[in-house]
Amino acid sequence: MNKDLEHLKEQVMFNCHISDGKFGGVFSLCGFLLRMRDYYKWEKGLNPWDEPDYNDLLQWIEHKESLWDKTAKEEFRPLILGNENFDPFDVDGINSRLEPSGLLYGAGYVTGMKPSFFLATTSATKSISNISIHILNKEMARDIFTSPAMRQGNHIITRPWAMAALLWDLILEKRPSTLEALKFSLAQFDLDVDEIRRSPKNLGKSLWQMSRDESETWVYHELGEAIQEEFNLEIWQEIVASHSNTIVERTARAVKDLLADTHEGGLFAHIIKHRKKSSLGLYLCFASPISRAFFPEINQAFNLIKSGQNWNTLEKTRQKGFLKASHLAHRLIEFHIEGHRKGEEWVRSRVEAELIQPLGISSLQDH
């Protein structure tokens, strides 16, 4: 690695440490520990299924928390490229300078309005509907947050390592509520959950192939998000920023995700068109409790597809889900506008009473 690249990596990592130190608390304890475990594996160059020594992991976490205690007091620093300074959120400006080197930089706000950054090389770039799709190869810098796919303006970034890590967590956890869907999904790649748990290293090649394939599918969630018009982006951002790390933010994120997935150009339409059984199963595994509660019809549709029914069933379910998500988005927007007069607490109480309590779920805290 040349000196300029090493310096850039250090600059990005410094801002990553600041973000983790200031905003690591937006995750639940369970979610934080899972992310730390995966972050350790990434930093050490391990595969997602290479489980670390427990004592080594604890010592590493202590070291990271000590580092974050120091950096949390710092402010984000501009990135210096050559003789120019760039705001760390000036993604377009930074990437225009990095393009000849084959590097890709990312910055944005994620759960709880946590700033998130990465620097990586790419293995491929393609275009769909005037949107550039970048498949990451080696991630040289990143913070504790990661996601299989994310959007930055007219760019969508897929992160196969993140998909593989999520897949491994599903296999390792083996939750009874999603086990049937997980087995169904793995079976499409001739994989068995118990065999993988016994000898993941022997099946690593197949796990990586599945992760790459599913990463390409999950691009269509981001595409659906980019083209849906029912939840105005500026209003959605206002809602999330005003109600960071509350029931309102989690509801707004779930509704926007459901709109993206059920849009005619989104994830489910792609799954239906290409008969992606594995992706249908994984959707049920990845979906948060609130998403499943808003869209319970997907469980029935999954059972019908699993039993060999016609895929037209899922198309009808998609359309129904989109109408429901559109209604939820409109209600959230109405609450938000009324909240300008009545206050944020009023908005939260209305979301709780009208949108969440009828679902009959007890917790919305995501991992």
Output the DSSP codes for 196-253.
Answer: HHH-GGGGHHHHHHHHHHHHHHHHHHHHHHHH--SS-HHHHHHHHHHTTTSHHHHHHH
The pLDDT value recorded for residue 43 is 96
Count of alpha carbons within 13 angstroms of residue 202, beta-carbon side: 8
The pLDDT value recorded for residue 130 is 87
Tell me: the pLDDT tens digits for 194-233?
999 999 989 999 999 999 999 999 999 999 999 999 999 8
Cα–Cα distance measured from residue 29 to residue 234, given in angstroms and rounded to the nearest whole number: 31
Pick the closest to residue 18 from 105, 141, 129, 196 (CA basis): 141
Q: What is the pLDDT along the chain (367 residues), one digit of tens a residue?
A: 577 899 999 999 999 999 999 998 888 888 889 999 999 999 999 999 999 999 999 999 999 999 999 888 899 999 999 889 999 999 999 999 998 888 999 999 998 889 999 999 999 899 988 899 999 999 999 999 999 999 988 899 999 999 999 999 999 999 999 999 999 999 999 999 999 999 998 999 999 999 999 999 999 999 999 999 999 989 999 999 999 889 999 999 999 999 999 999 999 999 999 999 999 999 999 988 898 899 999 888 898 898 887 888 899 999 999 999 999 999 999 999 999 999 999 999 999 999 999 988 754 544 4
